Structure formats: structure tokens, C-alpha cells
Amino acid sequence: MADSPSTIHVHGIECRLQRIKCSRGAFYRLTLTTMSRGPSARPRSTSSSSSSITSGYVAGAEAIMLLLLTLPGLDALRKGLVAVTRNALKPLLSVVPFCLFLLMDIYWKYETRPTCEEQSCTPTEYLRHQKSIMKSQRNALLIAAALVFYWLLYSVTHLVVRLDQLNQRIEKLKNQE
């Protein structure tokens, strides 16, 4: 059972806070919607799925760069790939605090989520609860993948650069003899 929501409009964003009662107690739901401009102004909901999309895209980009760096036979492109990857590592470092923030958000949602057992709630509440758990697990996997791929990309790039430096030193020593 839901109480009437409290709504605030600020700069085209509608903030709605709604208290929802269930068999285990009450919790609050915060919904942010942006108002589109024009004659058919309909609210568009923004959700936390944008964070999972962002972490998924970052993990995918890191995996592609890692794959291109480690594929054999791309020696002609390797210098360019190393340069692009080294230049992308600093901006991609922002994924670390972003992922840590998302992990804290998942943990907070887990701790404040109302528990729902099969006997104590309706089937709709139970399905909503299970869907929320699955989304949290998916987001945690995407966050872990993004962090692991960043660490691997950093390590492999560092090793490839070090290998190039050692090869240059070997060539220099051979030329001196």
C-alpha cells in the first residue's frame, strides 16, 4: 500500500518521494523524472540502469583494448595500439571511484531492502524482490569486470612498454658491438 507521493519540481526535474508499506514494514521510493520540452511534454524516468550500462560499456572497451594488445600478429599496429591505450588509461582511471561508489550503492540497497519471504508477501512483491536481487548481482558482476579489466589493461600495457624498451636496449647493445 502506497501513500500519496511528495513531489518537487526543480529546473525541469521532478523529484517524487513515496512511502510504501508492506507486510515487513515501510520503505521509501525516490523517483527522478525529467520533463521533455515541447507540446507533448511527457516525463521520462531515469533509473540506475544507466550506471550498469556505463560500467558495461567501460568493461567492454577495456576488454577490446586488452584483446587487441595481446593478439599475436598485430606487430605492425602494436605501437599505435600501445599509444592509444596509454592515453586512454588516465581517463579510464575514473572508472575505479565510479565502481566503488556503485558498490557502496549496491551494499546500501541490500542493507535497506525490505526482506520478502514467500509466505509474508504477495507474489508481486516477491517477484519485485527477486528482480531487484538479480539486478544487484548483475551490476556487481559488471563492476567487478570493469575493475579487473582495468587492472589487466594497465598491467599488460606496462609489460608491453617495458618489453619494447628492453628490445630497444638489446638493439642498441648489438649496434655498439
Query: Do 11 and 92 have their domain in common?
Result: no
Query: Do 95 and 15 have their domain in common?
Result: no
Query: Do 65 and 31 have their domain in common?
Result: no
pLDDT by position in tens, the chain (length 177): 555 666 655 555 565 666 666 665 555 555 656 555 544 444 444 445 677 788 888 888 888 888 888 888 887 888 888 888 888 888 888 888 888 888 888 888 877 777 776 677 788 888 888 888 888 888 889 899 999 999 999 999 999 999 999 999 999 999 998
| Contact of 40 with 61, CB cutoff 8 Å | no
Quote the domain boundaries for residue 145: 48-176
For the chain, the domain total comes to: 2
Question: What's the number of CA atoms in the CB half-sphere (13 Å) around residue 133?
Answer: 9
Query: Do 63 and 130 have their domain in common?
Result: yes
Query: Do 20 and 68 have their domain in common?
Result: no
Question: How far apart are the C-alpha atoms of 149 and 88, rounded to whole Å?
Answer: 13
